[in-house]
Chain A
Amino acid sequence: MNKKQKKMLIRIIIAAVLIVVFSLLPAEGYLRFVLFMIPYLVIGYDILKKAFKGILNKQVFDENFLMAVATVGAILLGDYSEGVAVMLFYQIGELFQSYAVGKSRRNISELMDIRPDYANIEKDGTLEQVDPDEVEIGTIIVVQPGEKVPIDGVITEGTSTLNTSALTGESLPRDAKAGDEVISGCINMTGLLKIRTTKEFGESTVSKILELVENSSSRKSKSENFISKFAKYYTPAVCYGALALAFIPPIVLLIMGKSAMWGDWIYRALTFLVISCPCALVISIPLSFFAGIGGASNQGILVKGSNYLETLAQTKYVVFDKTGTMTQGVFEVSGIHHNKMPDEKLLEYAALAECSSSHPISKSLQKAYGKPIDRNRVTDIEEISGNGVIAKVDGVSVAAGNTKLMNRLGIAYQDCHHVGTVVHMAIDGKYAGHILISDIIKPHAKEAIAELKKAGISKTVMLTGDSKRVADQVAGELGIQEVYSELLPADKVSRVEELLNQKSEKAKLAFVGDGINDAPVLSRADIGIAMGALGSDAAIEAADIVLMDDDPLKISKAIKIARKCIRIVYENIYFAIGIKILCLILGALGIANMWVAIFADVGVMILAVLNAIRTLFVKNL
Chain B
Amino acid sequence: MKKTYKIDVDCANCANKMEEAARNTAGVKDATVNFMMLKMIVEFEDGQDPKAVMKDVLKNCKKVEDDCEIYL
Which of the segments A94-102, A309-317, A406-414, A512-520 contacts the partner chain? A94-102
Q: If A57-B63, A97-B11 touch, does A217 touch B16 (CB 8 Å cutoff)?
A: no
A105 touches B11 (CB 8 A): no
B16 touches A231 (CB 8 A): yes
Among candidates A54, A62, A98, A217, residue contacting B36 with C-beta atoms closer than 8 Å: A217
B37 touches A282 (CB 8 A): no
B11 touches A282 (CB 8 A): yes
Shortest CB distance A57–B (Å): 5
Please tell me if A433 contacts chain B, counting CB pairs below 8 Å: no
Which of the segments A179-187, A283-291, A462-470 contacts the partner chain? A283-291
Please tell me if A63 contacts chain B, counting CB pairs below 8 Å: yes
Contacting residues of chain A (259-289) with chain B, CB-CB under 8 angstroms: 278-279, 282-283, 286-287
Among candidates A108, A282, A287, residue contacting B13 with C-beta atoms closer than 8 Å: A282
By DSSP majority rule, is chain A's interface helix, strand, loop, or mixed?
Answer: helix
Docked Cα-Cα span, A98 to B38, in Å, equals 13
Contacting residues of chain B (1-47) with chain A, CB-CB under 8 angstroms: 4, 10-14, 16-17, 32, 34-39, 41
Interface size on B, residues (CB 8 A): 20
Docked Cα-Cα span, A97 to B35, in Å, equals 13
Shortest CB distance B6–A (Å): 11
Docked Cα-Cα span, A214 to B17, in Å, equals 21
Q: Which of B4, B14, B17, B34 has the most CB of A within 10 A?
A: B34
Docked Cα-Cα span, A50 to B4, in Å, equals 27
Please tell me if B69 contacts chain A, counting CB pairs below 8 Å: no
- In the complex formed, the residue of B with least CB distance to A57 is B63
Please tell me if B64 contacts chain A, counting CB pairs below 8 Å: yes
On chain A, the residues within 8 Å of B14 by CB distance are 62
Please tell me if A220 contacts chain B, counting CB pairs below 8 Å: yes
Shortest CB distance A69–B (Å): 17
User: Which 6 A-B residue pairings sit nearest by Cβ, starting from the closest?
Assistant: A290-B36, A282-B13, A283-B12, A218-B32, A282-B12, A57-B63
Binding site for B on A (CB under 8 A): 50, 53-54, 57, 59, 62-63, 94, 97-98, 101, 104-105, 108, 214-215, 217-218, 220, 228, 231, 278-279, 282-283, 286-287, 290
The contact sample of 19 A-B pairs, CB cut-off 8 A, is: A50-B67, A54-B66, A57-B63, A57-B66, A59-B64, A62-B13, A63-B11, A94-B10, A97-B11, A98-B11, A101-B12, A104-B36, A105-B38, A214-B39, A215-B4, A218-B32, A218-B34, A282-B11, A283-B11
